[in-house]
Amino acid sequence: MEIQQARIVQALALEGTMLGAADRLGLTQPAVSASLGSLESALGVKLFFRSRRGLTLTHHGTTLLPKVRQLLELNTNITEYGKQLSHEEGSIRIAGRQGFMQYIFPALHGLLRKRYPDIRIEFALSGEQHEVISALQTGAADFAFAASPKIKSISSSVFFHDPVWLAVAPSHPLAKKKTVTLADIKDLEICLPAKHDRLRGTIERFLRKANAKNIVLETNDYTLMRNIILTSECAGFIYAHVLTNDPNELRPLKVKEFTLTRDLTVLHRRDDLAPHAETAMNYMLAEAVRILKKVVTR
């Protein structure tokens, strides 16, 4: 039995409904149902009777519940012991969205090793939003760089407002212009983020204002968009953090009518952040802000 499954069994026993347990734990109702089903399948017994009125413990569930509580108490004791360890020694696991992990994390990794040599990053996950959140919820990551999932059990904090720029390659005719007008943009070949992207609506309104209609490609990957801009005559939309490794590889266009930012957010489970992980997280956040400000203000 996993700790999360134990938490779910206890919450179901207390609340008597899937929805109540989900609200208590900050999870979705399908996630609670799936976890319970997986546990019952592994044990080979039913722990709860299901009815229109809700859930009640079976004989097996009643017998198992005290052991579940013992497991959770033991987990709490172990966690408290971990919190007493050094703030500057231990192993951590980090997860993040692909763009941040590709462009910002490598520098943070090197800086952390120099500043806190006894804090070791033993695993780093670069993935999609759902992969990052799953890693955080299951304990595969101590903290993560991703958008807030708005889950009660996860703490989120915005640490930087990352600008989104319309950019071209250094060889593009518009690259040398100090200020670009809407008339300049009208005839540009444009690469757009995919329709489901959270920034797509704002970008489309800007393009309609400029009467720009020459859309040549859509992509769900901003790193891919960066590479397309570099190797073609297309203009595209990039985050400022993409330029941290080589700030001269793309030319952001200064368009007064276009201002857009995305919040960069750090996440961690509310009830489980060891002192050395908190030390590492706070240090990496401060360094990330310093790196990003250099790009934005250059």
Share of the chain above pLDDT 70, in %: 97
**pLDDT recorded at residue 81:** 66
The reported pLDDT for the residue numbered 273 is: 85
| The pLDDT of residue 34 | 92
If one compares 223 and 105, the residue with the highest pLDDT of the two is 105
CATH number at 3-83? 1.10.10.10
pLDDT band for position 41 (cuts 50, 70, 90): very high
Bridge partners for 48 per DSSP: 57
Distance from C-alpha of 105 to C-alpha of 164, rounded to nearest angstrom: 19
Pairing of strands 235-239, 190-193: parallel
CA distance 217 to 141: 35
Q: How far lies 16's CA from each of 1, 11, 57, in Å?
A: 20, 8, 9
> Following DSSP, what letter does each residue of 60-93 receive, concatenated?
HHHHHHHHHHHHHHHHHHHHHHHHTS-TT-EEEE
Q: What are phi and psi of 254, to 5 degrees?
A: -85, 100
Residues of the chain with CATH 3.40.190.10: 90-160+263-296
SS3 for 50? strand
Rounded CA gap, 241 and 239, in Å?
5
- At 46-90, the pLDDT tens digits run 999 988 888 999 999 999 999 999 998 888 777 766 655 578 888
In the predicted structure, residue 199 carries a pLDDT above the cut 80: yes
CB 64 within 8 A of CB 12: no
Q: Note the pLDDT tens digit of each residue in 241-257.
A: 888 877 678 899 888 88
Is 80 exceeded by the pLDDT of residue 191?
Answer: yes
- Mean pLDDT (whole number) for 249-272: 89
Say if residues 100 and 106 touch (Cβ distance below 8 Å). no
Architecture of domain 90-160+263-296: 3-Layer(aba) Sandwich (3.40)
Q: Taking phi first (over 0 means left), then psi (-120 to 50 degrees means alpha), and beta for anything else, what does residue 10 get? A: alpha
Residue type, 183: A
What fold does the segment set 161-262 form as a domain?
D-Maltodextrin-Binding Protein; domain 2 (3.40.190)
Q: What is the pLDDT of residue 270?
A: 85
3-state secondary structure string across 187-234? CCCEEEECCCCCCHHHHHHHHHHCCCCCEEEEECCHHHHHHHHHCCCC
Mean pLDDT of the chain: 90
Residue 295 dihedral angles phi and psi, to the nearest 5°: -70, -45
DSSP reduced 3-state for 127: strand
pLDDT confidence of residue 161: 94
Where does the chain hold its CATH 3.40.190.290 domain(s)? 161-262
pTM: 0.68
User: Which residues are CB-contacts of 98 (< 8 A; sequence separation ≥ 6)?
Assistant: 126, 127, 128, 221, 223
DSSP state of 247: T
